[in-house]
Amino acid sequence: METIVTTNGGSEPPKGNDAFFPPASIPVASAPPPYAPEAPPPSATASPPAHTLSRTEILRLVTTTRKRAPIEIPEWGGTFYVREMTRAQHQATQATGATQLPDGSMRAHIPPPNVQMKPYMQCIEFESGERVFADGDIGAFLDMPQSTIQRIVVAIDALNKPDAAAPKPDEIASDPT
């Protein structure tokens, strides 16, 4: 540790540039060098450690690492599967800001139902992994009973939680009211 000494010896109130320095009695740690002198500086071309995936390996995982869980939908005749959303899908379900109204209240910019619910519809699959609905089916999907859609939304939202394991079928409420 080194001690910073002001030009006035620390006995008078700081003046001028001395106001930026602590009094002489306060020890200040000196910063360590950014890397040991005997070690070479970090290199942008260095390969990652053996346990770290490469960029190519990470990009290959994009379609295979999304969590998936079974969900009973009796109205549709059995078990289907829901898959975790991608970030882009999740973003489409969110409000996109707010506007202050003349009375001072705020109004959220909420996407229309066909935009907001399409990502949920895209995450419903058969056991084979094939999507149940095409994007053009959004109108019919929105005409389904709210209780059915809500059960699907709850199951997908459970998968979207950080570090959440896929919920077991009995953990997904059959009546989410």
pTM of the prediction?
0.55
The percent of the chain in helix, strand and coil, each rounded to the nearest 5, is 30, 15, 55
Domain boundaries, the chain: 1-31, 66-98+105-171
What is the CATH code of the structural domain delimited by 66-98+105-171?
Answer: 3.30.2220
In whole angstroms, give the CA distance from residue 56 to residue 44: 17
The pLDDT tens digits of the residues spanning 61-88 come to 876 678 899 999 999 999 999 999 888 8
Structure tokens at 108: 């959220």
Over the stretch 97-154, which tens digit does the pLDDT of each residue have?
Answer: 778 888 888 887 777 778 889 999 999 999 999 999 999 999 999 999 999 999 999 9
